[in-house]
Amino acid sequence: MKAAIRNQYGGPEVITIEEVPTPSPKKGEVLIRVHATTINRTDGGILRGKPYLIRAFSGLSRPKKRTPGTDFAGVVESIGANVAQWKVGDRVMGLSDQGDTASQAEYLVVPASFHMIGIPESISFQNAVASLEGAHYALNFLNKFSLKPGDQVLINGGTGAIGSAAIQLAKAAGLHVTATSSTEYIDKVKSLGADEVIDYTKDDITSQDTVYVHVFDAVGKRTFFECRRILKPDGIYISTELGPNWQNIWLALVTPLLGGRKVIFPVPVDIPNTLETMRHHLESGAFSPLIDRSYSLAEIREGYTYVESGQKKGNVILELDTER
Ligand SMILES: NC(=O)c1ccc[n+]([C@@H]2O[C@H](COP(=O)([O-])OP(=O)(O)OC[C@H]3O[C@@H](n4cnc5c(N)ncnc54)[C@H](OP(=O)(O)O)[C@@H]3O)[C@@H](O)[C@H]2O)c1
Name the residue with the closest Cα to ligand 1, atom 26.
Answer: 157
Which 3-state string (H, E, C) describes the chain? CEEEECCCCCCHHHCEEEECCCCCCCCCEEEEEEEEEEECHHHHHHHHCCCHHHHHHHCCCCCCCCCCCCEEEEEEEEECCCCCCCCCCCEEEEECCCCCCCCCECEEEEECCCCEEECCCCCCHHHHHCCCHHHHHHHHHHCCCCCCCCCEEEEECCCCHHHHHHHHHHHHCCCEEEEEECHHHHHHHHHCCCCEEEECCCCCHHHCCCCEEEEEECCCCCCHHHHHHHEEEEEEEEECCCCHHHHHHHHHHHHHHHCCCEEECCCCCCHHHHHHHHHHHHHHCCCCCCEEEEEEHHHHHHHHHHHHCCCCCCEEEEECCCCC
Cβ 81 vs Cβ 28: under 8 Å = yes
Name the residue with the closest Cα to ligand 1, atom 41.
Answer: 182
For helices 161-172 and 271-284, angle between their N-to-C axes, nearest 10 degrees: 70
CA–centroid distance, 160 to ligand 1, in Å, is: 5
Name the residue with the closest Cα to ligand 1, atom 8.
Answer: 240
β-pairing, 152-156 with 2-5?
Answer: unpaired
- Residue 207, CB-side half-sphere exposure with 13 Å CA sphere: 4
CA–centroid distance, 245 to ligand 1, in Å, is: 19
Ligand 1 atom showing the smallest separation from residue 133 Cα: 6
Q: Could you read off the pLDDT of 159-209 as tens digits, one per residue?
A: 999 999 999 999 999 999 999 999 999 999 999 999 999 999 999 999 999
- Angle at alpha carbon of residue 130, lines to 126 and 132, rounded to 5°: 130
Domains, the chain, with CATH or none: 2-130+290-319 (3.90.180.10), 134-264 (3.40.50.720)
CA–centroid distance, 189 to ligand 1, in Å, is: 14
pLDDT at site 68: 97
Peptide bond into 51 cis (omega under 30): yes
What would you report as the CA-atom Rg of the chain, rounded to the nearest whole angstrom? 20
Distance CA 73, CA 232 (A): 41
Q: How many CB atoms lie within 10 A of CB 51?
A: 10
pLDDT in tens, the chain (324 residues): 999 999 999 999 999 999 999 999 999 999 999 999 999 999 999 999 998 989 999 999 999 999 999 999 999 999 999 999 999 999 999 999 888 999 999 999 999 999 999 999 999 999 999 999 999 999 999 999 988 999 999 999 999 999 999 999 999 999 999 999 999 999 999 999 999 999 999 999 999 999 999 999 999 999 999 999 999 999 999 999 999 999 999 999 999 999 999 999 988 789 999 999 999 999 999 999 999 999 999 999 999 999 999 999 999 999 998 544
Name the residue with the closest Cα to ligand 1, atom 40.
Answer: 182
Cβ 70 vs Cβ 101: under 8 Å = yes
- Please enumerate in sequence order all residues whose Cβ is within 8 A of that of 79, keeping only pairs 6 or more positions apart, or say none: 25, 29, 30, 31, 86, 87, 88, 112
Distance CA 1, CA 20 (A): 6
CA distances from 42 to 130, 174, 275, 298 (A): 14, 29, 18, 20
CA–centroid distance, 123 to ligand 1, in Å, is: 26
Ligand 1 atom showing the smallest separation from residue 307 Cα: 20
Name the residue with the closest Cα to ligand 1, atom 48.
Answer: 240
Name the residue with the closest Cα to ligand 1, atom 18.
Answer: 160
Name the residue with the closest Cα to ligand 1, atom 34.
Answer: 157
CA–centroid distance, 260 to ligand 1, in Å, is: 27
Distance CA 12, CA 201 (A): 29
Ligand 1 pocket mutation pick from 38, 39, 40, 41 by most atoms within 8 angstroms of CB = 41
Ligand 1, residues at Cβ distance < 6 Å = 40-42, 134, 137, 156-157, 159-163, 180, 182, 185, 200, 218-221, 240-241, 310-313
